[in-house]
Chain A
Amino acid sequence: GENVEQHPSTLSVQEGDSAVIKCTYSDSASNYFPWYKQELGKRPQLIIDIRSNVGEKKDQRIAVTLNKTAKHFSLHITETQPEDSAVYFCAASLGGANNLFFGTGTRLTVIP
């Protein structure tokens, strides 16, 4: 089955700085890569996703890059704000209705 690794496990940045979280996956057939944000005690919420026919996707301060050859993808958050503090999970899937395989999460803390 798919194996997704995520780094770092914790990340602290100053407000206004950028944050980068990296993930690798093992199954070259995976073609859908979402990122979820989970605040303490709340549901995971999709913040951005990318499909394997695209190398980069951006949505305001959030961007995701995908390198299919190396089987890794990254989340970039620019101009971080205290409300960005949460746990972020990457995931990989074969697409369609197939289930997601999640990384172990990154706890991001943005220091005001």
Chain B
Amino acid sequence: EAGVVQSPRYKIIEKKQPVAFWCNPISGHNTLYWYLQNLGQGPELLIRYENEEAVDDSQLPKDRFSAERLKGVDSTLKIQPAELGDSAVYLCASSPGSGRETQYFGPGTRLLVL
């Protein structure tokens, strides 16, 4: 069974440019999470989806970040415009739902904003 897939793995952009990250969760997993991991820190939630519905986006900086999961499978996280402080690893995770809690993480996208 394939794990959580993310692309790109690395991205270097200049500040004020837009950037997008893509995530494909494990097949059949209803819940999808985007986490932000700063260097030397644990992941922090940005947004959580149950199928196509964003059920927790309280930590998403909505002035510049947006996300979508249109068909309840793949998801895209976008930053526009990027700032220097956005440099971090963006992790996607999925879980089966239906009371099963285990979250499986993707390899992450490492973003560097210059």
Task: Spell out A's residues near B (CB within 8 Å).
Answer: 4, 6, 32, 34, 36, 42-46, 49, 89, 91, 93, 95-100, 102-105
Contact = CB atoms under 8 A, between A and B. Distances in A.
Interface in B67-113: 91, 95, 97, 99, 101-108
B1 to A, nearest CB: 15
A43 B105 contact: yes
Given A44-B91, A105-B41, A99 B48 contact: yes
A52 B42 CA distance: 22
B3 to A, nearest CB: 8
Contacts of B3: 43
B41 A42 contact: no
Q: Which 9 A-B pairs have the closest CB atoms?
A: A102-B42, A99-B45, A97-B31, A43-B105, A44-B105, A43-B107, A89-B42, A32-B101, A102-B43
Interface string B30-59: 110100000011111100101000001000
Given A42-B107, A44-B105, A45-B105, A91 B56 contact: no
Contacts of A96: 99, 101
Contacts of B44: 102
Contact of A49 (B91, B102, B105): B102
Contacts of A97: 30-31, 48, 50, 95, 97, 101
- Of the listed residues A4, A43, A46, the one surrounded by the most CB atoms of chain B closer than 10 A to its CB is A43
A100 B56 CA distance: 12
Interface string B15-29: 000000000000000
B103 to A, nearest CB: 6
B102 A34 contact: yes
Contacts of B95: 97
